Amino acid sequence: MEWRASELLALNSTTSTSTYHPYRWSINLPNVKQLRDKQPENEKITINLGFVDLGRIDLLVQEGFYSNRSDLIRTAIRNQLESHGEVVSRSLARHTMELGLRDYSVADLEALRDAGEMLHVKVVGLARIEADVTPDLALQTIGSITVLGGLQASADVKKALGHRIK
């Protein structure tokens, strides 16, 4: 394609991204984006499988159940994550930082203990563990405490949880 000087000047004045030619003239091209600016949408992982499992995967791919090995593995992981969805949601709720005042009562901690769950306290503000919470109950239910602000609890509870307070 042959370009006239007037066309080059017109292109150069109306667009924004420059492309340089070996003969030292340049053209600005619209809507050109560098590939390096885009962040990856996924992460590559490596797993080790036994030959029997790998053979079974290959058989399912060969029979047309999956398009390739990666398709089967992604589907299996999604199914596993979906089956644990409620646990993940509860865990996220326990690990989220709270802003303001947060009180922890005996009833709150006993419910966690009965459910077999650990609490990770993350508060920006004031966290209060009620005075009637025993050190034993606190140890059974509080896995860690991160407070940006203040923590109010009995001296015994603070002493028992000392290694868990950040």
Q: What is the pLDDT of residues 13-56, one digit of tens each?
A: 444 455 555 555 555 656 655 555 565 667 788 999 999 999 99
Reported pTM: 0.51
User: Is residue 65 within a helix (H) or strand (E), and if so which, with residue range?
Assistant: none
**Which of the four pLDDT bands, split at 50, 70 and 90, describes residue 10?**
low
**Which of the four pLDDT bands, split at 50, 70 and 90, describes residue 163?**
very high
Mean pLDDT over residues 1-12, rounded?
51
Amino acid at the residue 116: G
Quick one: CA dihedral 123, 124, 130, 135, positive or negative? positive
What span, in angstroms and rounded, lies between the C-alpha atoms of 34 and 31?
Answer: 10
List, in sequence order, every residue forming a beta bridge with 142; answer none if it has no partner: 119
Compute the mean pLDDT over every residue in the chain, rounded to the nearest whole number. 83
More confident residue, 137 or 85: 137
Mean pLDDT over residues 154-161, rounded?
96
Quick one: CA dihedral 49, 51, 57, 62, positive or negative? positive
Lowest mean pLDDT among 6-15, 41-50, 65-74, 85-94: 6-15
Output the pLDDT for position 99.
Answer: 85
- Give me the helix-helix angle, 85-95 and 69-83, nearest 10°: 60
More confident residue, 158 or 25: 158
Structure confidence by residue, pLDDT tens digits, 130-146: 999 999 999 999 999 99
Domain boundaries, the chain: 5-33, 51-83, 87-164
Output the pLDDT for position 45.
Answer: 87
Output the pLDDT for position 15.
Answer: 45
Output the pLDDT for position 48.
Answer: 95
Which pair of tokens denotes residue 55? 């053979």
Nearest residue to 102 via CA among 77, 86, 124: 124
